[in-house]
Amino acid sequence: MIEIFQYDFMIRAFVAGIVMAIIAPLIGSFLVVRRFSLIADTLSHIALAGVAIGFILGTQPLVTTIVATTIAALLIEQLRRHQSIPADSILAMLLPGGLSLAIVLMSLTNGFNANLFSYLFGSITTVQPNEIALIVGLGVTTVAIVSLLYKKLVYAAIDEESALVSGIPVSTINIILIVLTAITVSLSMRVIGILLVGALMVIPVVTAMQVAKSFFQSVIFSVTFALFAVTSGLFIAYYFNLPAGGAIVLFSLAVFSGIFLVSRNR
Amino acid sequence: MYKKPLVSISHVNVDRAGIRVLENISLDIYKGDFLGIVGPNGSGKTTLLKTMLGLLPIASGSLSLFGKNVKRFRDWKKIGYVPQKPGAVLMSTPITVWEMVSLGLLHNKRFFDFERAKDTAAITNALEAVGMEPLKDRLMHQLSGGQQQRVFIARALVSNPELLILDEPTVGVDSDSQSKFYDLLRKLNKEMDLTLVLISHDIDVVSHEVSVVACINKTIISHGTPKSVLKGEVLKEMYGDQVTRITHNH
């Protein structure tokens, strides 16, 4: 066996990383088409507040984070539907709002600051067995829901009005997508970090769109690119003692740069 | 013989943000009609269309689709909708012609949207009807504006609708493609007995292509055949004193 897989914490890191590499671009594909990519960054800042709440309550931070991001995601969707505030302004307001709440809550806790870096930039090698169960369980659920509703998610993303006239329950589809986004952001937190989570949802998708010959192909390519970036990033991080989150994002950007240059020069 | 209208709009008022945007609209659309709804910008054409499709609430009056109150209407496969040309989303999304048309079949699928043999046949037929079958694997953003509109018509036709509603479908489409586009609409209306509702600001085009015209400027100003409706006084009421209609034969 390769040395890296002799350690349980690295096996857990690879399992968590692979689950995230599948679901982050899967959800990101629909967000990028909607031009709503920044929601991942907004929710990730709210996730930090969720972590702080978890520390204050003395419970599993991942659970309180999922609750906090889901509530925020539903609020964003509600405001977006009313159309009285532009979608990008909603995100621009809630992003610092989430961060501010997190800062205030953090000041109330002792000892949280020491863990702050692991949430901001990820700490994949410290993922615990109970967290793995939650990540895998919710990851499988996310893949199943997207498979069931794939075409409805596509239709609602590219042409909401026509989808409505076709009798598709667009409001329900939008709520499902945004809740899945909140869950994905929360799960990504340990793998890649709050400040970097948006990258895994967006960069592989944009990379895939440069070369895909269909929407389905772009989804498959984006997951493939994310898997490559996550596994390569983990190997490099282990052998060169680098932060895994940063290595994964830099690999994603390297793949994007290579494919962008090749596709433009064809 | 008495014919039941496919769409029946009776004394409908519509308010948006507290302002009345449609007033006392009454209009019936019958099977086989090719209705053009014309009016200046801001006259309420698109609002009327969205109200007709149940996308906007009615303040008062009644609206029925295929004999059913619009609020209770669920048989959406009977209606095909061709939106105004979508812009930025389409240009950056790698979606093929085939994938786009297949979305028109979702009304009868609850979960698992896999294509079955009958779906494949329906998509092929719809693409053949609009002459886009040879380009089925092309990406949408590789097509011209006219070709994209044909794909949207195929998407609307794939569920085999009885009524096709088009919202300013030729905006941004060159004149040659426009001419082919209206040939296709005539064929759908005459040969496939499809009822068409076309929203346009281009009175000249509408007067040549459609069988019935409704002129709108917040309310219905005139309704009938193009020849009987598009008279000087009606145009003046819609567009003001400065408008003169010049007719010419091509």
Q: Tens of pLDDT along A231-258? A: 999 999 999 988 888 899 999 999 999 9
Q: Count Cα neighbours of A68 within 13 Å in the Cβ-side half-sphere.
A: 28
Confidence class for position B239, pLDDT limits 50, 70, 90: low
Residue B150 has pLDDT above 80, yes or no: yes
**Chain segment B16-57, per-residue pLDDT in tens:** 888 999 999 999 999 999 999 988 888 899 899 999 998 899
Confidence class for position B205, pLDDT limits 50, 70, 90: confident
User: The dihedral of CA A178, A179, A184, A190: what is its sign?
Assistant: positive
Q: What is the mean pLDDT of residues A125-144?
A: 89
Q: Which residue of B has its CA nearest to A211?
A: B94
Q: What is the mean pLDDT of residues A35-60?
A: 88
Residues of B with CB under 8 A from a CB of A: 53, 55, 74, 76-77, 79, 81, 83, 86, 88-90, 92-96, 98-99, 102-104, 106-107, 109, 111-113, 137, 139, 155, 159
Most confident among A112-116, A260-264, B225-229 (mean pLDDT) = A260-264
Residue B101 has pLDDT above 90, yes or no: yes
pLDDT at B60: 94
Higher pLDDT pick, A210 / A6: A210
Q: What domains, with CATH codes, occur in chain A?
A: 7-197 (1.10.3470.10)
Mark yes or no for CB contact A218/B94 under 8 Å: yes
Contact A54, A228 (CB under 8 A): no
Contact B154, B127 (CB under 8 A): yes
Mark yes or no for CB contact B107/A166 under 8 Å: yes
Mark yes or no for CB contact A166/B102 under 8 Å: no
Residue B211 has pLDDT above 50, yes or no: yes
For helices A8-33 and A197-211, the axis angle rounded to 10 degrees is 60
pLDDT at B244: 57
Residue whose entry in the numeric block shows the structure tokens 């089925």: B136
Domain B7-239: what homologous superfamily?
A: P-loop containing nucleotide triphosphate hydrolases (3.40.50.300)
Mean pLDDT estimate for chain A: 89
pLDDT at B112: 64
Residue B145 has pLDDT above 60, yes or no: yes
Contact A140, A146 (CB under 8 A): no
Count of CB atoms within 10 A of residue A187's CB?
27
Measuring CA to CA, which residue among B80, B55, B75 is closest to residue B65?
B75
Task: State both tokens at A228.
Answer: 């490559």
Helix (H) / strand (E) containing A10: helix A8-33
Contact B56, B16 (CB under 8 A): yes
pLDDT at A25: 96
Contacts of B6 (CB under 8 A, 6+ apart): B29, B30, B31, B65, B66, B162, B163, B195
Distances (CA, A) of A31 to A122, A163, A168, B58: 23, 17, 18, 32
A-chain residues within 8 Å CB-CB of B161? Answer: none
Distances (CA, A) of A100 to A80, A103, B20, B144: 22, 5, 42, 48
- A113 Cα to chain B: minimum distance (Å): 42
Residue whose entry in the numeric block shows the structure tokens 């020849």: B227
Residue A112 has pLDDT above 80, yes or no: no
Can you give the residue ranges of every domain in chain B?
A: 7-239
Residue B142 has pLDDT above 80, yes or no: yes
Residue B188 has pLDDT above 70, yes or no: yes
Give the C-alpha separation, B214 to A176, whole Å.
41
pLDDT at B250: 46
B-chain residues within 8 Å CB-CB of A167? Answer: 74, 76-77, 106-107
Residue B116, classed as helix, strand or coil, is coil
Residue A1 has pLDDT above 70, yes or no: no
